[in-house]
Amino acid sequence: MKKLKIFSMILIVATFTIFFVMLGEVSVPKVSAPSEILTPLTSVHVPVLIYHYIREVDPKKDFLGADLSVSPKNFDEQLTWLEEKGYTTITLDDIVSAWEKGTPLPEKPIILTFDDGYDDFATNAFPILQKHGAKATTYVVSSFLDKPHYLSTKQLLELAASPLITIASHTEHHADLRTLKMSKLHEELINSKSRLEKLIGQPIRHFAYPYGRFTNGIAQETEKAGYSTATTTLFGYNHTPKNRFMMRRVRIAGATSISKFEKLLEPDLQ
Ligand SMILES: [Zn+2]
């Protein structure tokens, strides 16, 4: 009698368990795999390299010019090294998208930026970037267009048509923004943006402070002017949405050998 009672109890529990498991299978919606859920990334580790000229300069004749210039051969070698080490060049928009939407970044992302809008970006850097399929951002000073040694409007339009190139602003006159009155500061931020936008027919979303000089107030005005990011010359690799108008970079100088380049990018592995 007692055995029968225990058997009935087990039978009832088993029936209910089977019933609820079946119910669960029918009514509980399938949860997406974790990889399908995108969460905004708060901090991203992306080296943002600063270049100026890509050209040959004899340091004995022009020391400062040589310091700002990476030879086409060295630049080519650096891009080859990046490829071999598995880096993928991304854009500043990719970082913004990672912050805002959680869009995943490649395993070893890197950003190449060029300050001042020199004409050798079109004649020397661009063919090497194309050879490697590498993306880059050029920060253009809008009033310098068509001046000797700077990009021409024609070159700017050719660059803007390439999916590899992001055109960005480096003010209207390359002024030290800390020295300007508010109305002049607004002109430097807004006029350069609207002139470049009118020329290339694309939005200009990114900005670099001339000489890397800025204050908290200037950073706030840059945001108000409608930019998405602003880069400095401060050294660093990590970027957060909070610091998007004070982004840090890694300067590549004329004398940066390939071993120094390696140390700058992978300091932990040395
Ligand atoms: Zn500059």
Neighbours of 132 (CB within 10 A): 16
Using CB atoms within 10 Å of the CB of residue 143, give its burial: 0 to 12 exposed, 13 to 18 middle, 19+ buried.
middle
Sign of dihedral through CA atoms 149, 89, 142, 169? negative
The answer on pLDDT for 15 being more than 60 is no
How many angstroms is it from 170 CA to the middle of ligand 1?
7
* CA–CA separation, 5 and 219 (whole Å): 78
Whether 120 contacts 54, CB under 8 Å:
yes
Tokens 């009033």 map to which residue? 143
Q: How far is the CA of 22 from the centre of ligand 1 (A)?
A: 67
Per-residue pLDDT tens over the stretch 136-166: 999 999 999 999 999 999 999 999 999 999 9
73 CA → ligand 1 middle, Å: 23
29 inside domain: no
Place of tokens 């930026």: 113
Q: Give the chain's domain count.
A: 1
Separation of CA 131 and ligand 1 centre (Å): 26
| Residue 189 falls inside a structural domain | yes
CA of 124 to the centre of ligand 1 (A): 19
Residue 21 lies in a domain: no
Distance, CA 118 to ligand 1 centroid (Å)?
Answer: 10
Give the pLDDT band (50/70/90) at residue 127: very high
253 in a domain, yes or no? Answer: yes
Please give the Cα distance from 214 to 227 (Å, whole number). 15
Task: Count CA atoms within 13 Å of residue 258 on its CB side.
Answer: 12
Give 19's pLDDT tier (boundaries 50, 70, 90). Answer: very low
Structure confidence at residue 20 (pLDDT): 45
Closest CA to 139 of 192, 63, 177: 192
Distance (angstroms) between ligand 1 centre and the Cα of 209 equals 7
- What amino acid occupies position 149? H
pLDDT tens, position by position, 230-259:
999 999 999 999 999 999 999 999 989 999
Q: How confident is the model at residue 23 (pLDDT cuts 50, 70, 90)?
A: very low
Contact 87, 110 (CB under 8 A): yes
Residue pLDDT, tens place only, 158-194 = 999 999 999 999 999 999 999 999 999 999 999 999 9
Q: Is residue 258 part of a domain?
A: yes
Q: How far is the CA of 213 from the centre of ligand 1 (A)?
A: 10
Which pLDDT does position 28 carry in this prediction?
Answer: 40
Q: What is the CATH number of the domain that holds 228?
A: 3.20.20.370
Q: Which domain holds residue 215?
A: 44-269
Residue 262 within a domain? yes
In a domain, 33, yes or no: no
In the chain, % helix, strand, coil (3-state, to 5) comes to: 50, 20, 35
- The pTM for the full model equals 0.84
Task: Indicate whether 27 belongs to any domain.
Answer: no
Least confident of 11-15, 61-65, 76-80: 11-15
Does residue 88 carry a pLDDT above 50? yes
> Which amino acid would we find at residue 193?
K
Query: Running DSSP on this structure, what letter comes out for residue 213?
Result: -
The partner residues of 206 in beta bridges, in order of sequence, read 229
> Is the pLDDT confidence value at 22 over 60?
no
